[in-house]
């Protein structure tokens, strides 16, 4: 390893340590007294960083830039222990933290600028993305796929106090729909290849889980393929409510800070109980 590469790696290791402390403290503050420190977001950041490095190496992008983009992309999510405070874009906070933590480390200014630009571009609408931004986008979305993605979906549900209940089962619709379109969502050739490898594991696991719950007599949930505005949504739902009443489904969309949100609501015609969730409409790249 050259002296320059050794210095860059040492600087990166120091930055990672400081960033880990900040993210864990701010996420812990957001959750309150339940957690002093938590590593849910930090673990996600590490996985995205690793995926970004993997994609970046295959796409010919600087390894350090790819890793930094993955590490810092969500750094502003729990700023000062709050979440999306004042509806400000978290990417702006992430970039501020990036500049603060890399200042004085000897990292090249143009490399840090490249990373900052990629983070800001990822969820901006209508702008041409750099290759690094495309790599970051793919890495962030790939983290939701495959058996590791399934595991993290269930872990996050557990942290929010959800068991295998109707609320959680309805939300599997999001995981199935994203997995269905995963290769078409990705922006790099490497990302599309990895998504095609990972998505079948997501689909297989959740279909088998729903089959098992049905066979055990716990929940009579099925996956319905619902056409909606040029897409197929994989909607997980039951024909009847716990009270025995039939269920009416409604789907609509509305613009949000980062994306166009698809809203899905299930309402019992008899007791009025509602299960509702929302998610960003998948942006298909069309290869």
Q: What is the model's pLDDT at position 16?
A: 87
For residue 38, pLDDT over 90 is answered with no
Least confident of 20-29, 131-140, 149-158: 20-29
What are the sequence ranges of the domains in the chain? 3-138, 166-280
Q: How confident is the model at residue 157 (pLDDT cuts 50, 70, 90)?
A: confident
Residues 75-92: pLDDT tens digits? 887 665 455 555 557 788
What distance in Å separates the CA atoms of residue 276 and residue 215, rounded to the nearest whole number? 25
Q: What is the model's pLDDT at position 1?
A: 46
For residue 214, pLDDT over 80 is answered with yes
CATH code of domain 3-138: 1.10.472.50
Rounded average pLDDT over 219-225? 96
Residues 180-190: pLDDT tens digits? 999 999 999 99
51 or 34: which leads in pLDDT? 51
Q: What is the model's pLDDT at position 86?
A: 52
Rounded average pLDDT over 254-273? 92
Rounded average pLDDT over 153-168? 85
Q: What is the model's pLDDT at position 3?
A: 47
The model's pTM: 0.87
């Amino acid at each position: 390893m050259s002296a320059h590469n050794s210095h860059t790696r040492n600087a990166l290791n120091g930055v990672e340590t400081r960033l880990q402390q900040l993210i864990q403290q701010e996420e812990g503050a957001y959750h309150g007294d339940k957690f002093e420190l938590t590593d849910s977001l930090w673990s996600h950041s590490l996985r995205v960083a690793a995926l970004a490095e993997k994609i970046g190496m295959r796409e010919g992008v600087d390894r350090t830039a790819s890793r930094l983009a993955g590490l810092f992309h969500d750094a502003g999510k729990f700023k000062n222990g709050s979440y999306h405070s004042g509806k400000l874009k978290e990417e702006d906070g992430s970039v501020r933290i990036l500049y603060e933590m890399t200042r004085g480390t000897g990292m090249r200014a143009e490399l840090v600028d490249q990373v900052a630009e990629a983070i800001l571009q990822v969820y901006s609408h209508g702008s041409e993305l750099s290759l690094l931004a495309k790599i970051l986008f793919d890495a962030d979305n790939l983290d939701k796929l495959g058996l590791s993605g399934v595991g993290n979906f269930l872990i996050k549900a557990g942290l929010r106090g959800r068991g295998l209940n109707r609320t959680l089962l309805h939300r599997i619709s999001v995981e199935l729909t994203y997995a269905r379109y995963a290769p078409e969502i990705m922006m790099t050739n490497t990302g599309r290849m990895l998504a095609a490898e990972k998505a079948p594991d997501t689909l297989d696991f959740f279909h088998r889980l729903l089959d098992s719950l049905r066979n055990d007599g716990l929940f009579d949930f099925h996956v319905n393929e619902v056409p909606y505005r040029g897409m197929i949504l994989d909607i997980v739902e039951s024909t009847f409510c716990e009270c025995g009443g039939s269920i009416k489904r409604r789907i609509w969309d509305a613009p949000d800070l980062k994306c166009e949100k698809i809203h899905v609501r299930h309402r019992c015609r008899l007791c009025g109980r509602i299960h509702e969730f929302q998610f960003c409409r998948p942006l298909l790249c069309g290869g």
